[in-house]
Homo-oligomer: A and B are copies of this chain.
């Protein structure tokens, strides 16, 4: 037995994304944001997308390219504070934004990846984030039903991958990537390095390849991956 080879060209993998699909995008700020996959999605042109991402990056970076190109109808996120352009789009109604508490967004995505229908949480009770949510009592205390999130595609940035799609992340570039890599029908990972089978220590794999459909090696890192000069 040998494990299947999932190496793939970025453009070919991204070409499967259709209009109106839901797409999860890894990253918290620059670290872990799959810049190359995002550019491939801009080139591909699928529209009316629902994006799920922690933040909207900064103007002119990351998913801001998809906002600029008008491909995004809806954004499920936690915080847009660094992207005034995204806030303008939201305030003028050109995109619909759903805010989640950050850890609850993480849990909803993880639940989707774990085949769980929802988690029950008391986060946000007594605030407007609880508005409209179903309430269930657990041990006599009210909890909100936080339903699982799944996507048609997840776009993931890894430091290292092997041919089977086992992934390893570095430092704070991990963030939402391992969660989203479990929660989509098709998971596309870009990796800074792709290694032969056996070169990733089985104990050090962060995302088992079973969750990953396609891996593509980045031939070069664009300036968008670099330290942001402020």
Contacts and interface: CB of A to CB of B under 8 A. Distances in A.
Contacts of A148: 138
Interface in A145-183: 145, 147-148, 168-171, 174
Interface in A176-217: 202-204
Contacts of A202: 171
Contacts of A168: 203
Contacts of A115: 121
Interface residues of A, number: 28
B117 A120 contact: yes
Contact of A139 (B119, B147, B169, B171): B147
Contacts of A114: 107
Contacts of A138: 117-118, 145, 147-148
A111 interface: yes
A148 B122 CA distance: 13
Contact of A136 (B111, B139, B145): B145
A182 to B, nearest CB: 13
User: When A and B form their complex, which 8 residue pairs have the shortest distance between CB atoms, in order from nearest?
Assistant: A117-B138, A117-B120, A118-B120, A117-B143, A116-B119, A118-B138, A204-B204, A119-B119
Given A136-B136, A203-B170, A204-B204, A117 B145 contact: no
